[in-house]
Amino acid sequence: MTTEREALEMAKQWVVRGIVQGNALLLDEPLPLPDGTPVTVTITHDEEQERERKFYAQLADEGFITLPQPSPEGIRHNPPRKIPGKPLSQIILEERR
């Protein structure tokens, strides 16, 4: 089990991605830090993601796609988690054969 001090030392080296939603930072993965732990957030700009966002916005403006709406306030975004084993789609295909 990781102690609070060990978690704080490890956190000095972590790079975690996330998104801002409703003026709150939602992380892509949970951090084993106790509540109230002070952290520093460094904002970086990902040019590839920005190009992709503009591309999809243009497609939406032209009526080719509909962009998903952001979650209503108070509903947390829970990204998919990686689990060991075969992808579910592969298991389904194998069971159908």
How confident is the model over 3-21, as pLDDT tens digits? 666 665 655 667 777 888 8
Decide: 31 and 14 in contact? Cβ < 8 Å.
Answer: yes
> In the 8-state DSSP scheme, what is residue 31?
-
Q: How far apart are CA 46 and CA 51, in angstroms?
A: 9
pLDDT of residue 59 exceeding 90, the answer is yes
pTM above threshold 0.75:
no
